[in-house]
Every structure is written in C-alpha cells, then in structure tokens.
Amino acid sequence: MRIIATTVISLRALRRNKLRSFLTALGIIIGVGSVITMVSIGNGAKAQVEAQVASLGRNVISVFPGSVTTGGARGGQGSSNTLTVEDALAIKREIMGAVSVSPELRQGNQVQGNGLNWRTQVHGVDPDFLSIRTWNIAEGDMFTDNDVRSTTKVCVVGATIVKQIFPDVDPVGQVLRVGNIPFRIVGVLESKGFNYFGSDQDDVVLMPYTSFMSRVFRWRNTVNNILIEASTPEAMERVQLDIADLLAQRRGDREPDFTVRNQLELAAAASKTSGTMTQLLAGIAFVSLVVGGIGIMNIMLVSVTERTREIGIRLAIGAHDRDIRIQFLIEAMILSAMGGILGSLLGIGISHTLSNLNGWPVLVSTQSIVVAVAFSAAFGIGFGFYPAHKAAKLDPIEALRFE
Amino acid sequence: MQPQPVVQLEDIRKTYRNGELEVHAVRGISLEMHTGEFIAIMGASGSGKSTLMNTLGCLDRPTSGRYLLDGVDVSGLNRNERADLRNQKLGFVFQGFNLLSRTSALENVELPMLYAPRRVSAREMRDRAMHALDIVGLAARHDHLPNQLSGGQQQRVAIARALVNEPRVLLADEPTGNLDTRTSVEVMGVFQRLNEQGITIVMVTHELDIAHYCKRNLIVRDGLGVRDELVSDRLRSEDELAKLNQAEVLAKLSHA
Ligand SMILES: Nc1ncnc2c1ncn2[C@@H]1O[C@H](COP(=O)(O)OP(=O)(O)OP(=O)(O)O)[C@@H](O)[C@H]1O
Ligand SMILES: [Mg+2]
C-alpha cells in the first residue's frame, strides 16, 4: 500500500482547490456544530430545570385537580376543576405534618395604576405561599392572615409590574386597579427572572385568596392547585398519603378528581421532559449532519467528473485503480475530519456565546463531541466510497479524451 | 547475435466498434525497435498513428497481435501490471501536454515517482525531479504553475515527467503539434540530446521537417505501415536554431 504517497497526493489535490474543499467541509462543519450546540442547550436546560425544581424546596407537595387513573373515560390534569378552597382549609386543619398550606388561584387580568396599564397574572394565595415557594419580599411587607380573614383589598407585586406601571414611583402604598377594583400595594417581591418555560415569574400580582374570590373572580371557589410544605423530608411521604386519604374521604362515593405530587416526582417529570427535548434537538441536528455527509458525496461525485482528466493522467502515469480509490477516500476523510474539528469548535463557540447572551447554563458534553466527530468521519468514508469507486473504474484512455 | 529488440510488434490490429460500425484503425503492423533508435511515425490524419502509439504506451490493448516489451508479452498483463509498465519502462508525452493544472512543474514531474512500485523518499523525489527539469532546461522554473508557462515550456515539463523514472522507451504523440517553429526545434533538440544519451524515442508527427530530426521514419496509411526508412539528411537542432537566429537578426536589420 502506498498510503503515505497517496496521502501526499490527496493533500496536494485538496490544497489545489481550497475553496471547493472548504465548501465541501461546510456541510459537516454545520452539522457537527449544530449537534454539539443543540445537545449543550438541551443539557443546560435540563440542569436548570432540575436546579429550579430543587430550589422550590424538597418538602413541597402539590395537589392538582384531575385524576390520574379512574378507569373508563378520564380527563387530563386540570380538566375537572373541582379542587376547592375548602379542600385546602381541610388539609391545613387536619393534616399533622403539613406546616404551611396555600391554595393557588390564577387568572390573567388587566391592571392599571399610575396612569399606565398592563396585562398580567393575578394570583390569589395564602401568606404561606411565599415561604413554600422560598420567595422573599424585597420592599414593604407581605399581606397577613388578617388580610385573608377580612378580604382586604391589598396586594404585593412582582418586579415586572414595578417596571411597567411604577417605573419612577415607589410602588408601596400606591393603588393598583385589578379589573376595576382598587388594591393597595403593600410590598414588592424579590425578582426571580424567567423560568425554564420562558415565562416571566416576576410578571405577577399576589393577593389574599379570599379577596381574589370575592373581588376578582366572584363566582369561583375552585383552585388551580394547593401547595403544602411538609415539616421534614421524611414526613413527606406520610403527609402525601394522608392528604390523598383526606381528599378521598371528603369526596365520599365520587371518583377521586385530584392528583397529589411531591417535588421529587415533579423534578423527575420535568427532567424527563427536558431530556426528551434534548433528544429531539439532537435528532434534528443529526439530520443536518446526514445532509452534510450527502453534501460531501455530492461534491465528491461532481469532482470525479470534473477531474476525469486528472484521473486519466494519473492512471496513464502508472496509478493503480487502488491508488485512485484511496486518494478519493482519503480526500473525503480529510474533509470530514476537518469538518468535524471545525464543527466542534463552532459548536463550543456558539454554546458559550448563547450562554453568555441569555444566562442559560450551557453544558458542552464531551460525549456529544465524540459522537458527532465519529459520525462525521464515518460519513466521510461512507459517502466518499461511491465517488472513489467510480473514479477508480475509469479507463485511462477514455479519461484522457474527456473534455 | 542480434540483441533483443526493446519493442517487438507482431501483426498488431485494432478495431473500434461503434454499434454496427467497425473502424479498423490498425490493420496489421509488425515492427521492431532497438535500443537507441529514434523513430518518427508519420501519416495522414486518421491513419492510425495515435492508436498505434497508445498500444505502444500500454494505454490501450490491441484487438489482436503480439506486443513484446523488453521480451515480455504485454497482452498477458492485467490492468495494474500494465500501469506499472507505464510507470517504469515507458514515458509518454501527450499531444495536449496533460499536466495537472494548479500544480507546480516540480510536483508534476514528481508524480510518476509517487506511483512507483518502490517507495521513493521525498528528498530523492525532489532531487530526481529537479534533475529531469534541468535536462529540459527548466530547473529555474520548477515552482511555476502550468498556466504560468509557455506552450513549449509546458511540453518540456511533460517531457521531464516522462523521463523522471528513466524509461526504456520515450513515446511522444505529436509533441510539437501545438508549438511554433522555434519551440518545435527546441523540443526536438531536447529529444536529440536524450537520444544521444541512449534513450529510445518514438514520436508521431505530421510535419515532414520535424521527422527529419529523427533517425528512422515509419509511414502509416490506413492502418498499415507502407514505408520504413532511415533518414539520410538528418537535421540537427543546434544548426537549425542558429539559422533561425540569423534569420531573425536579418529581419530586424531589414526593418531598421
Ligand atoms: N475511440 C475510438 N472509437 C472509434 N473510432 C476511433 C476511436 N479512436 C480512433 N478511432 C478511429 O480510428 C482511426 C484512427 O484514429 P487515430 O486517432 O489513430 O488517427 P491518427 O492517425 O492519430 O490521426 P490524427 O493525425 O488526426 O491524430 C480513425 O478513423 C478514428 O476515427
Ligand atoms: Mg492522433
């Protein structure tokens, strides 16, 4: 085998046409780059979800309306809105290990104040909501149990509301009209930023759930969910079972229409979702890698035709068909290896740029680099083989006559 | 005892078949060539000269007949064995130069060594290529690309490439076909010097005066050898170049 000589020949051939070589490699560069970027973004998102879910507190239990398995026809979560404030109060009253309980009622609403208006999410909650969500007040105070009892028209607002409605005034003490009802702002929430689904967690108004039910959403007493904090992580399982029993008991013969989940289960579900997303992104990127490989084959095929005369000269001068085949294979391999390396650098670069731009954690995984580069090398050989074979089969005389 | 001929053709025939139509390009040529010969093959267009040359160069196989190169029957060899013969024993100079474009003169001349059955070191490759370029008077231009060279210079690079593996026979199909008179004479000078060093040369030409630089002329007509004679009034390129120089000087004088 004249491998060294053939490698020299391939390198010289590639060097002779730098632009074509670069364009051929470009498909692989983009393919590898996008695989690495996509996997990095996906991994970063997954890590962030896990971190966020963990930051909600390990002892938190949520109750959603909607049943899991009821046999026969079943609705999805939230399809039957029959979880009520009374359920939340019953939990608070009767479950031993539940240290904090808060119902959560949500509705999108137009709010006005300071001559400006804005559409936001209005939540009716218990003061305990803050401790369960490990959320703090930045300025002023949270409303109190007293406010809940006497359905006071008070609220606390998120940082986005301050930015949109009170850009130049101290919001504490100001009036915010929800619908047409005036609420006095007693506090401003600490900023939490965007969550993993991309929604702004600071775009929110919290008010006593009693006020929410009597002023904002008058004919409703069903809740979106109930949040419970267990005293210790160990107590959580017990508390979870007790809640399920209590709610079932309260429903008597009716089919259970609620789901009790703890934070760990939510974390697992969320990270499974983002794992699926990573796979999906990687799948899309992989397709572009395949397209890059086909691009190499395409250009190699064109170049076999374009270089028929060159091949004829080589054959006439004493090249064996094997020499020609290996030359074209090595050219394809060098191109895809080059594409793999440049693509990795591109992918790593884009990943870091993205993470700097929007503050996502982007985790570049070595595994994705190895896999992407290995595949691009394999494509180089795989897609280079047919053109190489075609070139090697040429007849020297006919190749020389080719115009 | 007569020494063994380098080339021995016995009743070589070549028939091209295009569907129903058969073209008998070569119809039975027998020929012997000995070491040190310098032969011009002449004939009208379409008479089968290139077909014969391609057969001699082991680029094409005859339909029938025997071809012995250095006593070895070429028709028994496979594709790769013939490639090795082309690489080692034959040097082919094409009518259209056939240099690799965008490749320096030096790298073009190195090409046959890259395909040599025995591995040649990079250093030896360069030295031998430079030597071959030196023989054709182009050592100073070794890093020029083909499109930076004149036609005659490109033809000389092609000759250097044909020479670099020290072939037994140098084959040239119309080596002066694309060149003006002066460059033609220069190229013939290169051939004459090589022949004096003992290389056997076979070339095709249309031009009678070019044939006069050779030692032996073979006339082909309709695929048959019709005349085979030694050249009596041989031209020498040095003399002809001197005459050309003189004529040019005269032309300039008369203009002045
Ligand atoms: N590949 C081919 N297929 C069919 N016919 C061919 C082929 N090559 C050559 N011929 C025919 O064979 C005959 C001899 O061709 P050849 O090329 O040997 O002529 P030549 O003497 O070299 O002519 P010229 O001086 O024009 O180069 C011609 O009639 C030509 O048409
Ligand atoms: Mg011809």
In contact, A351 and A34? CB cutoff 8 Å = no
Domain endpoint, select from A235, A256, A277: A256
Tell me the nearest-neighbour CA distance from B59 into chain A, angstroms. Answer: 6
Residue A69 belongs to a domain: no
- Model-level pTM greater than 0.80? no
In contact, A297 and A390? CB cutoff 8 Å = no
Q: What residue type is assigned to position B17 of the chain?
A: R
Residue A302 belongs to a domain: yes
In contact, A29 and A342? CB cutoff 8 Å = yes
- Are residue A167 and residue A280 in the same domain, yes or no? no
Number of domains chain A contains: 2
Residue B256: per-residue pLDDT: 45
* Rounded-to-integer distance, Cα B8 and Cα B191, Å: 22
- Cα B204 from chain centroid (whole Å): 8
Residue A81: per-residue pLDDT: 57
- Domain of A116 in residue numbering reads as 83-256
Helix axes A321-358, A366-392, angle to 10 degrees: 150
- Are residue A88 and residue A174 in the same domain, yes or no? yes
How big is chain B, counted in residues?
Answer: 256
- Are residue A113 and residue A191 in the same domain, yes or no? yes
Q: What pLDDT digit, counting tens, does each position of B214-236 carry?
A: 999 999 999 999 999 999 999 99
DSSP tag of B100: P
Which residues of chain B have a CB within 8 Å of the CB of A16?
Answer: 100-103
* Rounded-to-integer distance, Cα A32 and Cα B184, Å: 55
3-state secondary structure of A329: helix
Q: Do A321 and B86 touch (CB under 8 A)?
A: no
Q: Among A43-57, A305-319, B56-70, B149-163, which is the least confidently predicted range?
A: A43-57
Domain endpoint, select from A256, A280, A302: A256
What is chain A's mean pLDDT, rounded? 84
Is the CB of B63 within 6 Å of ligand 1? Answer: no
Domain endpoint, select from A256, A287, A314: A256
- In the predicted structure, residue B162 carries a pLDDT above the cut 60: yes
Residue A65 belongs to a domain: no
Q: Which residue's alpha carbon is nearest to atom 17 within ligand 1?
A: B50
What is the DSSP track for A17-73? Answer: THHHHHHHHHHHHHHHHHHHHHHHHHHHHHHHHHHHHHHT-TTEEEEEES-S--SSS
Residues of B with CB under 8 A from a CB of A: 54, 57, 59-60, 79-80, 83-84, 86-88, 92, 94, 98-103, 107, 111-112, 114-116, 119, 161
Closest Cβ opposite residue B100 in set A313, A319, A323 = A313
- Element of type H or E holding A348: helix A321-358
- Are residue A285 and residue A247 in the same domain, yes or no? no
At CB < 8 A and 24+ separation, what contacts does B135-141 make? B135/B160, B135/B163, B135/B190, B135/B193, B135/B194, B136/B160, B136/B163, B136/B190, B137/B190, B138/B105, B141/B105
DSSP tag of A203: S
Q: Which residue's alpha carbon is nearest to atom 6 within ligand 1?
A: B16
Which residues of chain A have a CB within 8 Å of the CB of B92?
Answer: 316-317
Q: Return the higher-pLDDT residue of A125 and A25.
A: A125
* Rounded-to-integer distance, Cα A279 and Cα B162, Å: 58
Q: H-type helices in A56-158, by residue range?
A: 85-94, 128-132, 145-149
- Are residue A166 and residue A121 in the same domain, yes or no? yes
Q: Which residues pair with A261 in a beta bridge?
A: A62
List the domain boundaries for chain B: 7-254
Q: What pLDDT digit, counting tens, does each position of A331-382 carry?
A: 888 888 888 889 999 999 998 888 887 666 777 888 888 888 888 778 777 8
- Are residue A330 and residue A368 in the same domain, yes or no? yes
Q: What is the mean pLDDT of residues A116-144?
A: 91
Helix, strand and coil content of chain A, in percent to the nearest 5, comes to: 55, 20, 25
Q: H-type helices in A77-218, by residue range?
A: 85-94, 128-132, 145-149, 159-165, 209-211
Q: H-type helices in A228-320, by residue range?
A: 236-251, 263-306, 308-317
Q: H-type helices in B115-236, by residue range?
A: 122-135, 151-163, 181-196, 208-211
Residue A316 belongs to a domain: yes
- Are residue A373 and residue A240 in the same domain, yes or no? no
Residue A76 belongs to a domain: no
Residue with tokens 């009802």: A181
- Are residue A123 and residue A93 in the same domain, yes or no? yes
Q: From the CA atom positions of chain B, what is the Rg in Å?
A: 19
DSSP tag of A216: I
Mutation pick for ligand 1 pocket among B20, B49, B54, B220 (CB with most ligand atoms within 8 Å): B49
pLDDT band at A78 (very low <50, low <70, confident <90, very high): very low
Q: Which residue's alpha carbon is nearest to atom 7 within ligand 1?
A: B16
* Rounded-to-integer distance, Cα B209 and Cα B170, Å: 20
The complex scores an ipTM of: 0.92
Residue with tokens 């400006």: A116
In contact, A140 and A187? CB cutoff 8 Å = yes
Q: Do A12 and B107 touch (CB under 8 A)?
A: yes
Q: Which two tokens stand for residue B60?
A: 């094409």
- In the predicted structure, residue A387 carries a pLDDT above the cut 90: no
DSSP tag of A174: -
Q: What pLDDT digit, counting tens, does each position of A194-250 carry?
A: 765 667 888 999 999 999 988 887 667 788 889 999 888 788 888 989 999 999 888
Helix axes B122-135, B151-163, angle to 10 degrees: 130
Domain B7-254 fold is Rossmann fold (3.40.50)
Q: What residue type is assigned to position A48 of the chain?
A: Q
Q: Do A319 and B83 touch (CB under 8 A)?
A: yes
Percent of the residues in chain A that have a pLDDT greater than 90, as a whole number = 28
In 3D space, the residue among B249, B137, B100 whose CA is nearest the CA of residue A15 turns out to be B100
Residue A124: per-residue pLDDT: 93
3-state secondary structure of B103: coil
Closest Cβ opposite residue B114 in set A5, A17, A316 = A5
- In the predicted structure, residue B59 carries a pLDDT above the cut 80: yes
Q: What pLDDT digit, counting tens, does each position of B111-129 carry?
A: 999 999 888 899 999 999 9
Q: Which two tokens stand for residue A194?
A: 């965007």
Q: What is the mean pLDDT of residues A183-193?
A: 91
Residue A69: per-residue pLDDT: 46
